[in-house]
Amino acid sequence: MTARDASPSLPQPDVPRIGKARGGKARRRWPYIGAAVLIVLIVVGLLPKPITVETAVVTRETLRVTIEEEGRTRVKNRYVVAAPVAGHMRRIDLKPGAAVKAGVTALTVLETSGADLLDARSLAQAEARVRAAEAARDQAAAREEGARASAALARSELERVQALYSQMSISRQDLDVAVTRARTTAEEGRAAEFGSKIAAFELEQTRALLLRGSPDAADNLAGLPVFSPVDGRVLRVFQESARNVFAGTSLLEVGDPMDLEVIIEVLSRDGVAIEEGSVVFLEQWGGPQPLEARVRLVEPSAFTKISALGVEEQRVTVVADFVSSVERRPTLGDAYRVEARIVIWEGAETITVPAAALFQRAGKWCAFVIAGGEARLRTVRVGRSNGVGTQVLEGLATGEVVVVYPGDAVADGRSVRVLARE
């Protein structure tokens, strides 16, 4: 037995098993962690998903409310040339579009062969017609002078108004009124000039018939030429071949095809809202750009028209004058079809929202505004609308984003995702 073996054995201290204790606690936590993750996943899965919506921005722009109807062009001043007496009409060689000059271009010749000889009674009636034609000529001349004076006064007033408008002393509305008055008086002057020419032509015709109807007239057996009463072009030829005609038979129609107006038939309830001087945009007429016109007259009497669906409608005729120059419409002629948009209200710098973003709830207009990724219900007060955009008086501000075409799934506080635009 050695000394080493004989040494008394010392007690060994207890060393704890740290690694095994920690591993056991971690293993006991995993079920709780898994349960927590599962609960979170279930909650996330049960949460409503954001819905995709289409949006638009509230803007400040010019808003126009218009009435859209079909229209047609019409020569403003036209004249139907009729046979002054009965006789044999020679063939009319002129075709539609041929240029004519007042008192120079012979439209046709009537061979009366003495049929226009007048007895004492007819001679007295012819003399009375000459005096009446002279009075009509003088009246037309006076009307022409008055129209010219009114046009000159309107032009000078327009110049003064334009000067004041350039100095910001008057409103845009005052300028528009002055422009409309100047254009209206100018058109009235042209119409009066046309009427004066017609009155002079009719006086010459009655005098010629009186001279030819005298028993001692030397040329009562010669042909009676019929001249054009106005400068312009032939619009229609009613009687082309040679034939016997009665007094008053329509032969052809002449006028200036560049002097056009627009005839628009609108519903009577829409015609009430149209005012004189309203702007009219003419589209789909065959040119690249819309033409502009101004309303001159809304006829006071309506008429009944059957629509394509067989519905009776009360319509009224609106007459508008072209503002666009002739150079912009060189090929536009008589009775051509156009699409007319008549402006009945216009507002500049108007807060506008798409009409598709508005809906009614409990009798009030509402819209959904996007804020923080959520849709917020907003009550608004609206004004005018043209079917595409709507004027907003209260409830929305420029730059806010609203939901367009909101469905039943969109609700207040619902998370939304904006549809990306291409």
Tell me the per-residue pLDDT of 81-131, one tens digit each, with 9 for 90 and over: 888 777 888 999 999 989 999 888 989 988 876 545 555 566 666 677 777
Domain hosting 405: range is 52-62+348-418
* CATH number, domain containing residue 276: 2.40.30.170
Tell me the per-residue pLDDT of 65-79, one tens digit each, with 9 for 90 and over: 999 999 999 998 888
Q: Two tokens at 354? A: 């798409």
Q: Are residues 269 and 238 in the same domain?
A: no
Tell me the per-residue pLDDT of 229-286, one tens digit each, with 9 for 90 and over: 888 899 999 998 988 888 788 999 998 888 899 999 999 999 999 998 899 999 999 9
Does the pLDDT at position 14 exceed 80? no
Q: Are residues 288 and 298 in the same domain?
A: yes
Q: So what's the pLDDT on residue 350?
A: 92
Q: Which residue has the higher pLDDT, 354 or 30?
A: 354
Q: Decide which of 299, 324, 346 is a domain's last residue.
A: 346
Q: Are residues 271 and 303 in the same domain?
A: yes
Q: Average pLDDT for residues 279-297, to the nearest whole number?
A: 92
Tell me the per-residue pLDDT of 191-211, one tens digit each, with 9 for 90 and over: 777 777 777 777 777 776 666
Does the residue 162 lie in any domain? yes
Q: Are residues 201 and 127 in the same domain?
A: yes
Mean pLDDT of the chain: 83
Does the residue 396 lie in any domain? yes
Q: Are residues 123 and 210 in the same domain?
A: yes
Q: Are residues 410 and 395 in the same domain?
A: yes
Does the residue 21 lie in any domain? no
- Number of domains observed in the structure of the chain: 4
